[in-house]
Each structure stands twice: as structure tokens, then as C-alpha cells.
């Protein structure tokens, strides 16, 4: 599964997996408790594959940030928690993405990225990101 089917729904905790489209929206399944919910077209939904983090030079796709965290942690859960201090979170994020834009990336954004990374890691969904990366590279050559 790629990040194209993983959703963040405004006002709902955690991440959701897209199950199917309906006439007025779609059905999604929570990665936290596997409960299915119906989401209408008026709700604010973000697809993880379309989210990027601001740096001083460009926008880095969230997929790359997740892979950077995974490499830093050797495939384990993040060594900082989303409830750690702002300074500790920012210091950790500088290790992951050295040139991120401090003015446009807030501590709350870093908390979300770490929460999402840990959730995806628990569900073994980050391994598939690397597989997709290798496939895309070999297709381009």
C-alpha cells in the first residue's frame, strides 16, 4: 500500500486507510482501532502522498521525511515522542531534515509527522514505501 490510500481526516485522530468510494464521499478504516467510518465530501481530508514539508530551498514530500526517519531509527519507532518538549522535537527534526523551514514548520506539525510515522511503522506500511521507491527508480531507468 502506498501513501495514496492513507488519509488524515480533520477532526479525527490518527490515520485512515481508504476502503471504497461512495456516492457522497468514501469509506475509510482507522489504523488505530480498525473501525470503519463514512466520510462525506465536505470534510477536510488530506492524502499523505500529497503532503510536503517546507525546507529553505524546496518542499520535501512526506514520503521522503518518513524514509529519513526510518533510516535514522534503523526501522524502529521514533526515539522521541509526540509529547516531548518543543526543543527536543525540533532538535530531532533537524537530524531528520536539516534544512527544514523553522518559520513555516511548527512543533505541532513535527508532532503529527512523528505520530504518523509511528502509526505507519506499527502497521509495517513503511517497508512498502521503500519497495515503491525502488520500483519507480527502476522504471525511470
Q: Would you state the cell numbers that stand for residue 104, as one nine-digit string? A: 513555516
Domain count, the chain: 2
Whether 10 and 23 map to the same domain: the answer is: yes
Whether 66 and 27 map to the same domain: the answer is: no
Exposure letters 15-40 (e unless 16+ CB within 10 A, then b): bbbbeeeeeeebebbbbeeeeeeebe
Q: Would you state the cell numbers that stand for residue 68, as one nine-digit string? A: 529519513
Whether 57 and 41 map to the same domain: the answer is: no
pLDDT band at 133 (very low <50, low <70, confident <90, very high): low
pLDDT, residue 138, reads 43
Whether 126 and 94 map to the same domain: the answer is: yes
Whether 29 and 96 map to the same domain: the answer is: no
Whether 44 and 61 map to the same domain: the answer is: no
Range of the domain at 44: 3-48
Whether 76 and 63 map to the same domain: the answer is: yes
Whether 90 and 22 map to the same domain: the answer is: no
pLDDT in tens, 101-127: 999 999 999 999 999 999 999 998 888
Mean pLDDT of 9-14: 91
pLDDT in tens, 66-106: 999 999 999 899 999 889 999 999 999 999 999 999 999 99
The CATH number covering residue 40 comes to 2.30.30.730
Whether 122 and 59 map to the same domain: the answer is: yes
Whether 67 and 135 map to the same domain: the answer is: yes
pLDDT band at 137 (very low <50, low <70, confident <90, very high): very low
The CATH number covering residue 102 comes to 1.10.10.1650
Amino acid at each position: 500500500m502506498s501513501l495514496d490510500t492513507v488519509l488524515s481526516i480533520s477532526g479525527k485522530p490518527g490515520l485512515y486507510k481508504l476502503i471504497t468510494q461512495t456516492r457522497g464521499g468514501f469509506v475509510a478504516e482507522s489504523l488505530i482501532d480498525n473501525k470503519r467510518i463514512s466520510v462525506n465530501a465536505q470534510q477536510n481530508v488530506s492524502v499523505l502522498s500529497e503532503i510536503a514539508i517546507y525546507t529553505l530551498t524546496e518542499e520535501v514530500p512526506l514520503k521522503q521525511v518518513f524514509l529519513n526517519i526510518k533510516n535514522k531509527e534503523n526501522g524502529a519507532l521514533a526515539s522521541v515522542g509526540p509529547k516531548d518538549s518543543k526543543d527536543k522535537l525540533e532538535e530531532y527534526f533537524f537530524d531528520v531534515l536539516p534544512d527544514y523551514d523553522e518559520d513555516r514548520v511548527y512543533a505541532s506539525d513535527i508532532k503529527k509527522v512523528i505520530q504518523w510515522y509511528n502509526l505507519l511503522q506499527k502497521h509495517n506500511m513503511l517497508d512498502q514505501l521503500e519497495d515503491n521507491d525502488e520500483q519507480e527508480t527502476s522504471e525511470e531507468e
